[in-house]
Amino acid sequence: MLTPGDSIPDTFGKILSETDSSNSFTNVKRGYIIKNNLHKYESPITNDYIKTNELIGMNNLLSFSDEKTNIESFNEINYRGMIEFLEVMAPYDPNIDLSNPENDANGNFKASSVYNGATSINDMNTKLNFQINRLNNNKMLNKQDRNKINRGVEKLADNTAEASFKLAKSLGKESPETMKEAITNHNANIKNTRNLIMVLQNLIII
């Protein structure tokens, strides 16, 4: 008997580890293909994150979808893009701490939980831009540093493009208020990415 995992993918992963081949679970894979196809018709803005995480976890085990981003929700793509960029910036900014990301009482992400002193995501992005400029002005970024940060920004831009696709898929599936809020947040992300690109273009390589 197996000890139940914390999630369906955890438990199923244990089952897979005790079998000779994943081919034994063809019917399970077919079931998740159907479940994923139904998931695609739901709004990416208000997808149930528990179901989404289950699909992503099971896809890692059964490979029923070519791209994880086809499964991720609008918010998950934005969150992943932000965290991945903060991971790139962490060696250059002591205010970044990714050990305990949190949401507030309303379920909104707390920027202060990953960036010391940030009052909002926009404030955090402003501080990141300032830090990059400060390091550059003090000649503390070499070519390797610049390339590393530049790749991080390029990946952030890719995530923003993926989020645009998710936003488009939500049209007609959400209330005007929900769409307005999502579009406002998305436009802020686009502006932040553009600002980062402009900052990088002005960097002095030493």
Assess if residue 88 is contained within a domain.
yes
Residues 52 and 71: beta-carbon distance below 8 Å: yes
Show which of 48, 70, 92 is a domain's final residue.
Answer: 70
- 123 and 167: one domain? yes
Handedness of CA 21, 27, 33, 36 (dihedral sign): negative
Instruction: Between 48 and 98, name the one with better pLDDT.
Output: 98
Q: What's the CA gap between 163 and 72, in Å, rounded?
A: 10
Banded model confidence at residue 61, pLDDT cuts 50, 70, 90? confident
**pLDDT tens digits, residue range 152-164?**
999 999 999 999 9
pLDDT band of 84, cuts 50, 70, 90: very high
User: So what's the pLDDT on residue 151?
Assistant: 94
Distance CA 87, CA 108 (A): 21
User: Residue 21 — pLDDT band, cuts 50, 70, 90?
Assistant: low
Q: Are 102 and 170 in contact (CB under 8 A)?
A: no
The whole-number pLDDT of residue 1 equals 32
Q: Do 193 and 161 belong to one domain? A: yes
Q: Classify residue 3: in a domain, yes or no.
A: no
Query: What gap in Å lies between CA 7 and CA 95, rounded to an integer?
Result: 33
Kindly state whether residues 102 and 52 are assigned to the same domain.
no
HEC profile for 5-72?
CCCHHHHHHHHHHCCCCHHHHHHHHHHHHHHHHHHHCCCCCCCCHHHHHHHHHHHHHHCCCCCHHHCC
* Rounded mean pLDDT, 32-37: 86
Q: Provide the domain limits for residue 159.
A: 74-201
* Nearest residue to 107 via CA among 75, 139, 136, 62: 75
**pLDDT at residue 173 in the model:** 92
Total domains, the chain? 2
Q: Are 149 and 197 members of one domain?
A: yes
